[in-house]
Chains A and B, each alone.
Chain A
Amino acid sequence: MTISRQTITVLTLLLLVGYAVMGLEQTANRETLPNKVTVTYWSGWTGDEAETQRKVIRDFNNSQDKIFVKFLSISGLRSKALLSINGGMPPDIFHTEETDIASFAEFAGMSQARGAEQFLQRDQRAEETDIASFADANALEDLLPMATRDGIKRSDYIPIYWDLLSYDGKLCGMPMTPVSTAMHYNRKFLPPNVQNASQAPKTIEELDALVDKISKKRPDGSLELAGFLPGEPGWWKWAWGYFFGGRLYDEKTQKLTINSPENIRAFDWVGSYAKRFGVSQVQTFQSGFGNFASPQNAFMGNKVASVLQGVWMANFIHLFNPKMDWFAAPFPIPSDRPDLEGANVVGIDAILIPKGAKHVDAAWEFIRYQQTQKAMEKLCAGQSKHSPLAKVSEEFFQLHSNKEIRLFDRLARSKNPITAPKLGIWPQVADELSNALTEINLGKKSSSQALTEVQNRMQPLLDKYLIYVGKKKP
C-alpha cells in the first residue's frame, strides 16, 4: 500500500494539533488538586517579601482542606491583570502595590545607575493608580457585602487604609501591608543640638536652616554632602503640595486644583533647593547616586544627611549600612500651617478579586484569613512594615525589626494623611507633575507657569475620561 504525500501532510498536521491539545490538558491537570479548589493569586512581590506572603499562605493551606491558594510572583502585574480581565481569564486574587519595593529588589542587580532607578519608579507610579481605573471599569468585585457579612468593618483598621480602598461606595480591595513615611536623619552629620526626634526640625524653615548649616561643597564648587534634597529619592513628587496644605483634585466639583497657591508655594520651595545648591551641581551630584537597594544609595552612602522615606527604610539600612546611626521624625511643615502636623504620605498594598474570577468565595476565604490579626502581623512584621489594623499586639511592636515602628504606626493614624487622589488618569497627572518639577528645577519655568500648564493640559483629559466612564455628562 502506498500512502500519498497529501495523507502524510494531513496526518502530520493532525499529530501536531493533537500534541498541542494534550500538552495544554496536561498543563491544566498539573494545576488542580483533587478535592480542593485552587485559588490563583498573582502578586508583584518577589524575594523576601514574597516568601513572607508564602508563609501566611502555607498556614492557610494547612489550616483547612477545601482550598489551596497558589501564589505566583509576576512582573508587570498591572498590565497582565488588565489583559487577563479583558480576556475573561483573570486570577482569583491579585495584589496591587502602592510602593513597589519588591521591584526594586528584583532589579537591584541590574539597575546600576540612576536611569534604571527611575525606570523602576515609573513602574511603581503605574501601580499606584490601579484602584480608580479598575473600579471605574467595574473590573473589581465589591468586597463590602462579604466583609459586612463576616463582621469585618472600617473600625477594625487604621481608617485611612480602609478609605484608600473605598471607591464610589464600594470596597475595591482589602488592606495588606501599609505605608507611612517619615524623615530619616543620619546622626553623624547633624549638630549636637539635633540628635533625636524631639530636636529634629518641626518646620520647613527650621529644615532649610539645618540644611544650610550642614551641607558641604568641595573647593571646586561641587556638592559633597546635601543636608536634604527634595529630589532624593523623588518617589512622591506629586505630594509636595499636600505638605503645604494643597490638594490636587476636588472630587465635588470634579476639577483638578494643580495650580492652587499652596501647590505653587510647595513647588517654589522644592525649586529653591536647585537654586540653593546650583542646578548643574545638583544634576551631577545626583547622577553619582547608586540605585535604591544598594550601599551607594544617597542616604546610606552618606551623600544626603536626611531623606523622606517609608517604613521599609530601616530594613534597607540594616542590609546596606548596618552601622549607620539614624533616627526618624515626622516631616516638617510650614511654620504658618500648624494645622498640618503629622502630614505624611501614606498608602496601602491591596488584595483584590477581579471580576470574572472563577472562585470568588474561596478567594474571599483566604482574604478573610489574611485579615486576622495573627496573619496580618506575620505578613507585616516579615516585610518590616507596620500593621494596617487598628488593634496591634504589644509583641508586634517589641519584636519588630524597625526601632521606629511606633512612629510609623502613629503617623499612619495622623489626622493629615497624604494620599494620591483616586483619579482614573492619575498616571498622566503624576507624569505631568514630575515633568513640571524637572522644568522648575532646571529654571526653565516658574512654578506658577509650569503648574498652570499641567492644570490646563490635564483638566480636558480628565473631563474626557469622566464622560467615558459615565461620571460626567458630555
Chain B
Amino acid sequence: MKSPRTHFRKVESINGYLFALPYIFGFLALTAYPVLYSFYLSFTNYSVLKSPQWVGIENYRELFTDDVFHTAIKNTFIYMLTAVPLGTVMAILLALLLNTKVRGMAFYRTLFFIPSLVPLIATAMLWMWVFNGEYGLLNDGLRRIGVTAPNWMGDPAWAKWTLVIMAVWGTGNAMVIYLAGLQDIPQNLYEAADLDGASPWKKTKAVTLPMLSPVIMFNGIMGMIGGLQQFALPYVMFPGGAPARSTLFVSMYLFDNAFNNQRMGFASAIGWVMFIITLILTLTALKVSDKFVVYDRS
C-alpha cells in the first residue's frame, strides 16, 4: 500500500511539471529547436523562400575568406575591448561616488541611472544630434574652445568612438549592480582597516576592490557578451556600417545577410562562429578570474 507521503510527493511533482510545461514547451519550441535548426542551416544555402540546399562547410569556408566579415570581427572586438573596460571603470567610479554619504544621494543616483532607461532608438536620435558635424552640441562646444571638431559620424576614424562614448554614458545598470555590491561589503572590514591606519586608497585597493571582484567579473562577462552582440545603436545610427564599414559589427552583418540578403545559411554560420568565440572568451574569463576573484569572506 502506498503511503500518503509518497502519494503526496507524486501529486506535487506532477503539478510541478504541469506548471513548468508552458516554459518547457516554450524553451523547446522557441529556443532549443531554432538553435539546433540554425546549426543545420549553417551547412546549407537557404533563402527562406526556397528549401535549404546542403553545401557542407562552404558557408564557413566563405566566412574565413570574407574580408567584410573580418572587418566586422575587428570592429566588434575594438568596440568590446574599449567600451567594456571604460564602462566598467566609469561604473565603479560612479558607484564609489554614489556610495558616499552626502545629502540628496537619491537624486544623484536617479540622475546617473536615467540614461540606462532611455530606449535605444531615442538614445540614438539624441546622440546623433550631439555628434552632428555641423550643428552638434559637442562640436559647437569644441569650436568655442578653439578645437578643430571632427565629423564624428561621417569620418571612419571617429565613427566607432561615438558608440564607445555612448556605451560609457549608458552605464547605469552596471553602476547599480556595483552599488549593491559595495553596500554588501561588511563594515567590519573597513573598521579593521581603519584600526590598522589604512588610507582611503589602501582601503579601496585592499578591501573594496577584492570584495567587489565577483561583481566585477559578472558585469565584465555580461558586458563582454553585450559588446559582442552590439546591434541596435549602430544599426540605427550607421546603416550598413557606414562610413566605409567602420561601424559594421558582426551582429549587423548577420542580420543583413539573414533578412536583407536572404542568406539564412550564411547568417547561421556567422551566428555559430560568434557563439563559439563568445563561449571561448567566457570560459577563458572564468578560468582567469580564479586568480583575481575573491569569493571567500570568512
Contacts and interface: CB of A to CB of B under 8 A. Distances in A.
Interface of A: 4-6, 9-10, 13, 79, 82-83, 85-86, 110, 112-116, 118-119, 121-122, 126, 133-134, 136-139, 280, 283-288, 424-425, 427-428, 431, 434-435, 438-439, 442, 444, 457, 464, 468-469
B189 interface: no
B208 interface: no
B237 interface: yes
Contact of B239 (A82, A85, A121): A121
B240 A284 contact: no
A21 to B, nearest CB: 16
Interface string B29-70: 000000000000000010111100100000000000001000
B151 A435 contact: no
Interface residues of B, number: 43
25 contacts: A5-B11, A6-B14, A6-B18, A9-B15, A9-B19, A13-B18, A113-B125, A113-B129, A114-B132, A115-B236, A116-B124, A118-B240, A118-B242, A137-B47, A137-B50, A280-B151, A284-B133, A286-B154, A288-B135, A428-B261, A431-B240, A435-B244, A438-B243, A457-B67, A468-B53
Nearest to A354: B49
Interface of B: 11, 14-15, 18-19, 21, 45, 47-50, 53, 67, 121, 124-125, 128-129, 132-136, 151, 153-156, 235-240, 242-245, 256, 259-262
Interface centre among B67, B136, B243, B262 (most CB of A within 10 A): B262
A116 B154 contact: no
A373 B143 CA distance: 59
A76 B138 CA distance: 34
Contacts of B262: 82, 133
A112 B154 contact: no
A119 B49 contact: no
B49 A137 contact: yes
B237 to A, nearest CB: 5
A428 B253 CA distance: 11
Contact of A86 (B14, B49, B235): B49
Nearest to B21: A13
Interface centre among B11, B53, B239, B244 (most CB of A within 10 A): B239
B154 A287 contact: yes
Given A13-B18, A284-B154, A118 B129 contact: no
B49 A442 contact: no
A471 to B, nearest CB: 12
A9 B153 contact: no
Given A287-B153, A288-B134, A468-B45, A119 B236 contact: yes
Contact of A116 (B14, B125, B155, B244): B125
B247 to A, nearest CB: 10
A110 B121 contact: yes
Nearest to A13: B18
B18 A9 contact: yes
B242 A438 contact: yes
B243 A442 contact: yes
A372 B30 CA distance: 47
A122 B244 CA distance: 15
Contacts of B237: 115
A121 B48 CA distance: 23
Interface centre among A5, A6, A13, A468 (most CB of B within 10 A): A468
Closest 5 CB pairs of A and B: A288-B134, A137-B49, A287-B133, A283-B154, A113-B128
Nearest to A286: B154
